[in-house]
Structure 1
Amino acid sequence: MKRVLILFALLAPMVLTTACKKEEPVQTERQRLTAPSDPRDDNAWKAYLGQEINANRAGVTDNVYSYYLGMDSDVLTPEDEAADKRTKYQRMVEQVNIVVLRTVLPGNMLAFGSPDSSKMADLIVAAFQGAEPNALKGSKVLFIGAAADNDRVKAAVEAAGANYVFVEAK
């Protein structure tokens, strides 16, 4: 009997604590991220895009390749002049096009974002030209941009067989 009382005395606080524990509400929708208001703040934009990429990694089992264009990426800078006389935009179109033409393995993700959504959409459409219908089968392409650019990017990406995800930068 004494053992039962001791056992009860030890277990009673745990049972009462567990019974009174308040359950946290389950979050059903992820918190909405807000795009930086200054389109020239590259650090803020890169941080924001990184958060959006992480929030959209579902189904990605391998690498994420992210592409970012700052404002005025199609303007020739003194560094561009000294190097190869091509803008950052032109170099990135070529780089992404090579990746797409070589195909992207299933489980990988290509992520695109920029404060200049229209220019990034132009880049994606240009880079995906000539892609084989299954070049990106099993991979994911994330575009973070303006709703006005969604349809043309979606058409170019889905023609290459990728799983397309759009996030509106607000």
Structure 2
Amino acid sequence: MKTVTRLFALSTLALALAACGKKEEAATAQPAEAAPLSAPAAGSDDAAWKKYLTDVVTRNMGDITNAPFVYYLASNADQGSYDRQLEQASNAMARGVTSGNMIAFGSPDSARIADMAVASFAKAEPNTFKGVRVLFVGAAADQERVKAAVEPSGATFVFVEAK
């Protein structure tokens, strides 16, 4: 699962770098921005979900220039995969993340990725994530509990409903 997460982060970084290189071209010619992708249907393959999540993360970077930390959980992830991802996320939140970074959580299984986000932020020290953006991509039903877990850290919480 580490490999999948790293590949996903690298693909997001590659998109960001490609976008940076085209800023000069954009100044002379303004192409129409691509329409946002829609969340894949339930039971879709992980590749479609990763493509969707990459699109949502990219659109919500704002002034963040560093590669985002993305936590993705496959719809068919077993308990071992979940536990490893949770450990990685929890350790990162306990260490802290510097200002100017983004942390994103997304999965076809909104309740489960929300559980992961809530549990990982339980180890975050209050007000140590100022200047950090936390993006949660999931169901509206999970928004408030993730927001409540993130806010004490001082991070800016952003919610995008997967639809």
TM-score by length of 2: 0.76
Equivalent residue pairs, number: 132
* Residue among 79, 102, 126 paired with 2:119: 126
- Asked if structure 2 preserves the Cα contact closer than 8 Å seen for 1:40 and 1:70, the reply is no
Amino acid corresponding to residue 96 of structure 2 in structure 1: T
Could you say which structure has the larger radius of gyration? 1
Which 10-residue stretch deviates more, 108-117 or 131-140?
Answer: 131-140
Runs of 4+ in 1 over 4 A off after TM superposition: none
CA distance in 2, matches of 1:91, 1:33: 29
Q: How far 1:148 sits from its partner (Å)? A: 0.2
The aligned residue for residue 45 of structure 1 is: 49
The aligned residue for residue 85 of structure 2 is: 92
Q: How far 1:71 sits from its partner (Å)? A: 1.4
Where structure 2 has 5 or more consecutive residues not aligned to the other structure, the ranges are 1-31
Q: Deviations over 1:2-35 (max 9, x none)?
A: xxxxxxxxxxxxxxxxxxxxxxxxx9xx844310
The CA RMSD over aligned residues, in Å, is: 1.8
Q: Deviations over 1:140-165 (max 9, x none)?
A: 11000000000000011111111110
Q: Deviations over 1:107-154 (max 9, x none)?
A: 000111000000000000011113111221111110000000000000
TM-score by length of 1: 0.73
Where structure 1 has 5 or more consecutive residues not aligned to the other structure, the ranges are 1-26, 77-86
Are residue 59 (structure 1) and residue 63 (structure 2) matched?
yes
Are residue 72 (structure 1) and residue 72 (structure 2) matched?
no
The aligned residue for residue 145 of structure 1 is: 138
Which 10-residue stretch deviates more, 157-166 or 143-152?
Answer: 157-166
- Asked if structure 2 preserves the Cα contact closer than 8 Å seen for 1:100 and 1:135, the reply is no
Are residue 154 (structure 1) and residue 154 (structure 2) matched?
no
Which 10-residue stretch deviates more, 160-169 or 57-66?
Answer: 57-66
- Asked if structure 1 preserves the Cα contact closer than 8 Å seen for 2:36 and 2:56, the reply is no
The aligned residue for residue 33 of structure 1 is: 37
The aligned residue for residue 25 of structure 2 is: none
